[in-house]
Amino acid sequence: MSTSSSISSLLNSLNPSTNESLAELLGESSTSNSTSNSSSSDSSVLDAVDAILNSATNTSGTGLDVTSTVDAILQLDAQPEVNMQSQVTALNSQTSALQTIETDLANLQTAVQALNDPMGALDDVTVNSSNNDVVSATAANGTAPGSHTVVVNSLATTSAAYSAPQTSSALPVGEFDLQVGNNAAVPIPVDTADGTDTLSGLATYITNKNMGVTASVITDSSGARLSLVSQTSGSAGVITVSSDTTGADLSGSFTSASAALPTGSFDITVGASGTPVNIPVDSSPDNTDTLTGLATYINQNVQGVKASVITNASGAQLALVPTSSGQAGAITISADTTGEAAGGSGNGMGFASTYTPPTVQGMDFTAAVGSNEAPLGTDASLTVDGVPVTSGSNTLTGVIPGVTLTLSGTSSDPVTLDIAPDLTQASTGINNFVSAWNQLMTDINTQNTYSGSGSAPPLMGDPSLDLIQSQMLSDITTSVSGNGAAVNLQSIGIQLQEDGTLTVASSSSSDSMDLNDALSNDFSAVQNLFQSTSPAGVAQTLNTDLTTLTDPVNGPLNLDMTSITSEVGDLNDQISQFQYQLQQTQTQLTNEYSTINTTLEQMPQLINQVNQQLNALNPPTSSSS
């Protein structure tokens, strides 16, 4: 009988109820030891049993290291999870490699589309001007090559106007009309109520009106001026200032131009020796009981003065502007009985009794002129291929289809504009295509190459790579018959190598034809080699197949990645389930070995009891005399 069986039997005979669990566990462990000797996991169980037996025969009562024992068993039981994790890692490596190839395909298609695009690299053009100081130009991709002549007679100018120098910080009160091009004139008040009685306030007010005018203050030795500059060049932006009543003889303020005035009359005398003219203010028969009607009456009956109505934040006023300066334009208001009928003291119109016009009447705007003394705000005048053209801007688009002209000067001598393919951009586009192609071939070759040592590439033997490489190599040998000397890539200096990559012959190489020669000698043939639709050219053919190969649903690489994603998901589900089962096993083993440990820690006391009972059953015998 084994040691564990002897002890178990002994323990059961001594105290069956207390030691039943230990006996059963020891019995199970012994059975496991006899029936599963070949398993590495069972080997750990045997080690645990040995530890139990050693503790059982050890009277120290130190018990069993439960955690280490359980961990040793679980470490071997967890091997299936390790294997599944390794499978997940391998599959993720395949996905990463597939994504690299997919990126290579996308980059190649981008480079191919740049060559196939009617507005792409092979359709870039350059424009060379024989005199950039007069006219320069740019052209959109796809613009037809050719030569054009331009004669610039005059440039478009921008209209501007400026006021007379203002020696006082406060501006003369009134208003003026400001018009830009054919737009409606806008009244501009000059008064305290609108915050426009200073040049800075007036400039801010005009600019904030968003009329297409930039207003600013310019100061020199003669004083400060208001500057008005149109935001539109040419005749469409001409600035017109009219009806300037600033500095005029103003009446008092009334509610509006149509409000009823205090009735009565007053006399107007223009000039020192002028004859007074009586102005009635009534509703009938003169219809002068409003500012509008009064202004009309004065303009019809009084010489040397112009009457108008201005409206601002304070209300409406009658403005009288003399047509002469100095004393000849002095205005005298007398015998004002307006308002007396309503019980007032007269002077209901609120005019100053005398008014002498300033040396400079109000703001006194002047239109700015150019170096030739011609007013600014004129259109550019030029001829293009003999056809007369006018433009409000010095930048012209559409005169020559696809071309933007920039005028900088004038000249009676024609300027020649030559539009030609941009060979530099074309060469760059083709070389970008070659680089993207070579990256794809290099990455595919890397996956298909294994030296026999170390780990094989993750996509080794993947049929999708063979499919892609085969299709691409077939497309790259596309030829276009009837296309002059440019019938295939080799004919323009692009050579296919044994590993599937491409090289571009340079002018320094010994090849009979290089890319630069092909582009210079027959650009349209090179362009057609890539862009031909019937038969399909190189770029056309590649783009069609790349679209199929990179299809997000049915592309071979995306199908592979979809399958791998599903497989990884299944494995992760299995791993989660296995980890749950392993955790349950850990809990069970911990409970079982904790029970054993508790019993083992009580062994010294039990053995001592056994010894006492044995001694009692076998008392020592006394020796005979």
Q: What is the pLDDT of residues 170-229, one digit of tens each?
A: 888 888 999 999 999 999 999 888 999 999 999 999 999 999 999 999 998 888 999 999
Predicted confidence band at 3 (pLDDT cuts at 50, 70, 90)? very low
Please report whether residue 58 resides in a domain: yes
Model confidence at 540, in pLDDT bands (50, 70, 90)? very high
For residue 172, give both structure tokens.
């003369």
Q: Measured between alpha carbons, how far is 42 from 33 in angstroms, rounded to an integer?
A: 7
Measure the CA–CA gap between 302 and 304, rounded to whole angstroms.
Answer: 7
312-317: average pLDDT = 87
pTM of the model as a whole: 0.62
Tokens standing for residue 413 = 């001598």
74 pLDDT exceeds 70? Answer: yes
Within-domain flag for 621? no
**Which DSSP symbol is given to 273?**
T
Asked whether residue 190 is domain-assigned, the answer is yes
3-state SS track over 13-26: HHCHHHHHHHHHHH
Compute the average pLDDT of residues 68-78: 80
Strands 380-384 and 146-154: antiparallel
Q: Is residue 567 in a domain?
A: no
User: Residues 471-476: contacts with CB within 8 Å, 24+ apart?
Assistant: 471/545, 471/549, 472/437, 472/440, 472/441, 472/500, 472/542, 472/545, 473/500, 475/538, 475/541, 475/542, 475/545, 476/437, 476/502, 476/538, 476/542
Classified as helix, coil or strand, 228 is: strand
Identify the CATH number of the domain in which residue 234 sits.
Answer: 2.60.40
Whether residue 189 has a cis bond before it, omega within 30° of 0: no
Q: What per-residue confidence (pLDDT) applies to 359?
A: 62
pLDDT value of residue 324: 84
308, 323: one domain: yes
One domain, residues 265 and 345: yes
In this predicted structure, the answer to whether residue 296 has a pLDDT above a threshold of 80 is yes
- Whether the upstream peptide bond of residue 285 has omega within 30° of 0, thus cis, is yes
Judgement on whether residues 283 and 302 belong to the same structural domain of the protein: yes
Q: Which range is least confidently modeled, 89-93, 542-546, 552-556?
A: 89-93
pLDDT at 394 over 60: yes
Shared-domain flag, residues 477 and 513 = yes
**54 pLDDT tier (thresholds 50, 70, 90):** low
Domain boundary among 323, 345, 378: 378
The mean pLDDT of 276-303, rounded to a whole number, is 93
Residue 84 maps to a domain = no
Of 58-72, 193-207, 267-281, the least confident: 58-72
One domain for residues 458 and 515:
yes
Local confidence band at 550 (pLDDT 50, 70, 90 cut-offs)? very high
Inter-CA distances, 570 with 473, 561, 623, Å: 37, 14, 81
Q: What is the pLDDT of residues 465-511, one digit of tens each?
A: 999 999 999 999 999 999 988 999 999 999 999 999 999 987 545 55
Residue 377 confidence (pLDDT) above 80: yes
Q: Read off the tokens for 450.
A: 């294994």
Residue 624 domain flag: no
Cβ–Cβ under 8 Å, residues 33 and 44: no
pLDDT tens, 14-44?
333 334 433 443 344 333 333 333 344 445 4
CA gap 69, 76 in Å, rounded:
12
Q: How confident is residue 147, by pLDDT bands cut at 50, 70 and 90?
A: very high
Residue 324 and residue 305: Cα distance in Å, rounded?
8
Predicted local confidence at residue 148, as pLDDT: 97
Identify which has the larger pLDDT, 47 or 19. Answer: 47
How many domains does the chain divide into? 5
Same domain, 38 and 108: no
Separation CA 305–CA 248 (nearest Å)? 10
Domain assignment of residue 312, yes or no: yes
| Whether pLDDT at 269 is above 80 | yes
How many Å apart are CA 415 and CA 336, to the nearest integer?
Answer: 72
Given a cut of 70, whether residue 516 has pLDDT beyond it is yes
Res 48: pLDDT: 52
Within a domain: 208: yes
Residue 295, pLDDT above cutoff 80: yes
Percent of the chain with pLDDT over 70: 87
**Residue 237 sits in the same domain as residue 366:** yes
Least confident span in 29-33, 142-146, 446-450, 596-600: 29-33
Among 14-23, 230-239, 428-437, the range scoring the smallest mean pLDDT is: 14-23
Domain check: are 534 and 442 in the same one?
yes
Lowest-pLDDT range, 120-134, 225-239, 276-290, 588-602?
588-602
Residues 51 and 115 in one domain: no
Structural domain including 300 reads 248-357
> 203 with 150, same domain?
no
Same domain for 263 and 309, yes or no, is yes
Higher confidence at residue 606 or residue 133? Answer: 133
Mean pLDDT of the chain, nearest integer = 85
In this prediction, residue 188 carries a pLDDT of 93
Q: Which of 72-81, 387-396, 407-416, 559-568 has the lowest mean pLDDT?
A: 72-81
User: Nearest CA to 541 among 442, 474, 487?
Assistant: 474
> Of 370, 401, 421, which residue is a domain's last?
421
In the prediction, which pLDDT does 185 show? 94
pLDDT band at 623; cut points 50, 70, 90: low
Same domain, residue pair 191 and 240: yes
Q: Are 299 and 176 in contact (CB under 8 A)?
A: no
pLDDT recorded at residue 67: 86
Direct distance between the N- and C-terminal alpha carbons of the chain, in angstroms, rounded to an integer: 40
